[in-house]
């Protein structure tokens, strides 16, 4: 047993960690280890979806081999522990790119499927699962299921976004997308309020593949922010940026994220970026993965860790709901550090428990301040529930079962595909087992 | 002779060796020969390397680790196709120390696979490289070979054998076209050390260790500690008086 934490560092319970290194031995290990277990990749999900306190974790990072890549069709077959970073670095120089990538590239393919992750281009290309052609699932009874979108019926949709609860994904085939190079034409546009944000989002949908915004919840009454958009650019050969890597080497005894630092940060960030607003050519790494130059940035929240509250609410009520949530945050006196606001495209996700849906998504990071932060979350839950929105389970460590059940309508269908030998902290909290 | 760098890896399915291979094929056009016991596991590594670099040429040679005649034949057949620029001898197995204490078969296996076998391979390469006065022999030893300690002294003894052997080989080839590089990894995050991680030990990343090995081989360094800090750590540990060392729980 050894302590394992997820990205939010909210807990460090002991786990029996079993390395899956050899694909031919996965079935044996998964069947014969102590149940229940759950697959664990890079542990970049924030809450308890990748944890199984006092239980077994099947560590998939050793399944890091490519199996085949066809330069002509852009089909990539790889093991489930391959990192998105390694895929991007391999295929971009060869004219291909992952169609969908989340804001961190240090995640495994298996994790990306199990959480059906999304990126800044949801309105154009949907979520990760939309580009998965097939995958192999190993169940804890030894059954091996090769899943394609339609056959065997249900398994694909249950496993994409299925939080690892239907079996262990061991390999997958992904359809990549043509790209001219690693560069993007980007633009940063400051906005003063939510009206302007939604206007910018609508105006950008047709011409810009990637859109995202950072919103300042603290200064100037909240609601102002910076809208960032980008699209692939053919600018020929340029020197690539040197990877800088600063790491928070130690955990500070108290959170460095506090009212004062946040206030200053928000003012500084807004003004710095506003000053540098406008068009620019950017490399894909800093644009897609702005935090990857600061590995282990999650440590700066101190030993108690942090929460991320990410919700999506339907577009029709989106503006009011976002406004209401920002108001609750302001009223609470809690200061979110990173706040991201983004619209999703008008498309339904592949997975039964996939998070993305048409609407607008707001992500708020809070240092763990115990009781009082939970009071705020309850008020935010009320707004989300009222708006008929839902919470992103990959980020969640605390949401109530009732909200989960009412906001994920395909849950009853999903439960039929669960593997009885698999359970996570999250599944016990939200599904009772 | 083609212009590709010809690299041979013995024990190609070890995590450290595999990461070195990934770096080498990304760096330059490479003609790679992978030597190992388990054809299926080598095949997995080969497929991965081919995806990473479609230009790489890969040959697979199957050989047992303790059969002197088989080793000599296998290595001679590799040289029959041309000179070898680099050989990385990387196979090994870290068994639990207590197993070696309880069971003499396990003790013998640990000594043979980590000590005797790498020497047999290196000697087969040395013979062929000496003839053409060209090539680099890189051997993976271990910081465990620098000073015996209770938690892994049988493994450490085998790696100590590799250390003394590499010293002798360096002496033999001094001033010639054959280089000998001894690599001493510290505890690295690989499948071999999963049990150490369970005990909460902080392990070096295999990618970083591989990077240092590739750079060290390129530079022709006599001894490469990976991570580099172990050069100092082991210097201190090697010189600690027994009266202090024997009180330490390491």
How far is the alpha carbon of B200 from chain A, nearest alpha carbon, in Å? 6
CB B12 within 8 A of CB B42: yes
What is the chain B residue with the closest CA to A22?
B41
| Residue B191 forms contact with A (CB below 8 Å) | yes
Region for B137 from its dihedrals, namely left if φ exceeds 0, alpha if ψ lies in -120 to 50, beta otherwise? beta
**Fold classified for A66-179:** 3.30.465
**Domain locations in chain B as residue ranges:** 5-245
B residues 9-38 near A, CB within 8 Å? 15
How far is the alpha carbon of A79 from chain B, nearest alpha carbon, in Å? 10
Tens-level pLDDT at each residue, chain A (433 residues)? 889 999 999 999 999 999 999 999 999 999 999 999 999 999 999 999 999 999 999 999 999 999 999 999 999 999 999 999 999 999 999 999 999 999 999 999 999 999 999 999 999 999 999 999 999 999 999 999 999 999 999 999 999 999 999 999 999 999 999 999 999 999 999 998 999 999 999 999 999 999 999 988 776 556 788 999 999 998 888 887 765 444 444 555 566 666 667 667 677 777 766 666 788 899 998 889 887 777 778 888 888 999 999 999 999 999 999 999 999 998 888 888 778 999 999 999 999 999 999 999 999 999 998 899 999 999 999 999 999 999 999 999 999 999 999 999 999 999 999 999 999 999 999 999 9
| Residue B66 forms contact with A (CB below 8 Å) | no
| Residue B198 forms contact with A (CB below 8 Å) | yes
CA distance B80 to B100: 39
pLDDT in tens, B88-129: 999 988 778 888 888 999 999 999 999 999 999 999 999 999
Select the residue of A1, A17, A69 nearest B51 (Cβ to Cβ): A69
* Residue A19 φ then ψ, to 5°: -80, 125
What is the CATH class of A183-233+252-398?
A: alpha beta
ipTM of the complex: 0.86
How far is the alpha carbon of A288 from chain B, nearest alpha carbon, in Å? 23
What pLDDT sits at residue A384?
A: 98
Select the residue of A2, A62, A67 nearest B47 (Cβ to Cβ): A67
How far is the alpha carbon of A136 from chain B, nearest alpha carbon, in Å? 17
CB B96 within 8 A of CB B195: yes
- Residues in chain B with CB shorter than 8 Å from the CB of A78 are 51
| Residue B48 forms contact with A (CB below 8 Å) | yes
| Residue B199 forms contact with A (CB below 8 Å) | yes
Q: What is the pTM of this model?
A: 0.90
CA distance A19 to B68: 34
pLDDT in tens, B188-204: 887 767 666 666 667 88
pLDDT in tens, B143-183: 988 888 888 899 999 999 999 999 999 999 999 999 999 99
Region for B201 from its dihedrals, namely left if φ exceeds 0, alpha if ψ lies in -120 to 50, beta otherwise? beta
Strand locations in B82-199, DSSP E? 86-89, 135-140, 178-185
pLDDT in tens, A57-112: 999 999 999 999 999 999 999 999 999 999 999 999 999 999 999 999 999 999 99
What pLDDT sits at residue A277?
A: 72
Place of tokens 């388990």: B38
| Domain limits, CATH 3.40.462.10, in chain A | 183-233+252-398
CB A349 within 8 A of CB A117: no
Helix, coil or strand: residue A122: helix
Inter-chain contact A90–B52, Cβ cutoff 8 Å? yes
For residue B33, the cross-strand partners are: B8, B59
Strand locations in chain B, DSSP E? 5-10, 30-36, 57-62, 86-89, 135-140, 178-185, 223-226
Instruction: Decide if domain B5-245 falls under CATH 1.10.3720.10.
Output: no
- Rounded to whole angstroms, what are the CA distances from A251 to A91, A296, A341, B62? 35, 10, 28, 48
């Amino acid at each position: 047993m050894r302590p394992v934490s997820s990205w939010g560092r909210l807990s460090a319970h002991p786990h029996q960690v079993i390395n899956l290194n050899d694909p031919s031995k996965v079935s044996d290990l998964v069947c014969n280890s102590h149940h229940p277990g759950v697959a664990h990749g890079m542990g970049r999900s924030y809450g308890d979806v990748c944890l199984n306190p006092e239980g077994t974790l099947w560590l998939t990072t050793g399944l890091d081999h490519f199996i085949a890549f066809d330069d002509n069709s852009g089909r990539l077959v790889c093991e489930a522990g391959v990192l998105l970073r390694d895929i991007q670095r391999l295929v971009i120089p060869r004219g291909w790119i992952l169609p969908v990538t989340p804001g961190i590239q240090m995640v495994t393919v298996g994790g990306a499927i199990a959480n059906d992750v999304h990126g800044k281009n949801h309105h154009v290309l949907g979520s990760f699962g939309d580009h998965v052609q097939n995958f192999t699932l190993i169940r804890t009874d030894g059954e091996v299921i090769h899943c394609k979108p339609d056959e065997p019926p249900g398994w694909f949709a249950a496993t994409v976004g299925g939080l690892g609860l239907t079996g262990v994904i061991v390999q997958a085939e992904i359809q990549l997308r043509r790209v001219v190079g690693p560069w993007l034409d980007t633009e940063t546009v400051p906005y003063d309020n939510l009206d302007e944000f939604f206007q910018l989002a609508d105006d950008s949908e047709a011409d810009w593949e990637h859109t995202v915004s950072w919103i300042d919840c603290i200064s100037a009454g909240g609601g102002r922010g910076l809208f960032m958009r980008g699209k692939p650019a053919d600018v020929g050969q340029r020197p690539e940026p040197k990877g800088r890597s600063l790491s928070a080497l130690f955990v500070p005894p108290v959170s460095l994220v506090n009212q004062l630092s946040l206030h200053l940060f928000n003012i500084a960030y807004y003004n710095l970026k506003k000053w540098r607003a406008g068009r620019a050519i950017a490399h894909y790494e800093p644009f897609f993965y702005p935090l990857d130059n600061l590995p282990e940035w999650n440590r700066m929240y101190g030993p108690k860790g942090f929460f991320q509250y990410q919700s999506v609410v339907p577009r029709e009520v989106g503006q009011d709901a976002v406004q209401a949530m920002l108001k609750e945050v302001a009223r609470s006196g809690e200061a979110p550090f990173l706040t991201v606001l983004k619209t999703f495209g008008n498309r339904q996700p592949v997975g039964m428990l996939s998070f993305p849906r048409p609407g607008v998504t707001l992500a708020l990071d809070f240092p763990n301040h115990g009781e009082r932060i939970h009071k705020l979350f309850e008020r935010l839950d009320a707004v989300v529930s009222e708006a008929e929105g839902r919470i992103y389970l990959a980020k969640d460590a605390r949401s109530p079962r009732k909200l989960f059940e009412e906001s994920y309508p395909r849950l009853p269908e999903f439960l039929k595909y669960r593997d009885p030998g698999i359970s996570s902290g999250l599944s016990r909290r939200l599904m009772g087992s | 002779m083609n212009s590709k760098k010809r690299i041979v890896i013995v024990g190609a399915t070890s995590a450290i060796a595999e990461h070195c291979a990934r770096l080498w094929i990304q760096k330059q056009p490479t003609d790679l020969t992978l030597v190992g016991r388990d054809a299926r596991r080598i095949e997995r590594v080969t497929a991965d390397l081919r995806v990473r670099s479609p230009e790489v040429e890969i040959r697979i040679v199957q050989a047992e680790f303790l059969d002197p005649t088989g080793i000599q034949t296998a290595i001679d057949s590799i040289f029959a196709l041309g000179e070898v620029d680099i050989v990385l001898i990387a196979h090994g197995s870290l068994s639990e120390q207590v197993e070696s204490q309880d069971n003499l078969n396990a003790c013998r296996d640990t000594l043979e696979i980590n000590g005797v076998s790498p020497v047999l391979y290196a000697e087969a390469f040395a013979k062929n490289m000496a003839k053409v006065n060209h090539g680099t022999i890189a051997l993976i030893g271990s910081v465990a070979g620098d000073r015996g300690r209770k938690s892994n002294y049988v493994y450490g003894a085998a790696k100590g054998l590799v250390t003394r052997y590499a010293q002798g080989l360096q002496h033999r080839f001094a001033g010639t076209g054959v280089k000998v590089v001894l690599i001493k990894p510290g505890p690295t995050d690989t499948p071999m050390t999963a049990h150490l991680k369970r005990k909460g030990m902080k392990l070096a990343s295999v990618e970083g260790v591989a990077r240092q090995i590739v750079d060290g081989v390129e530079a022709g360094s006599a001894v490469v500690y990976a991570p580099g800090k172990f050069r100092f750590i082991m210097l201190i540990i090697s010189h600690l008086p027994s009266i202090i060392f024997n009180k330490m729980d390491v």
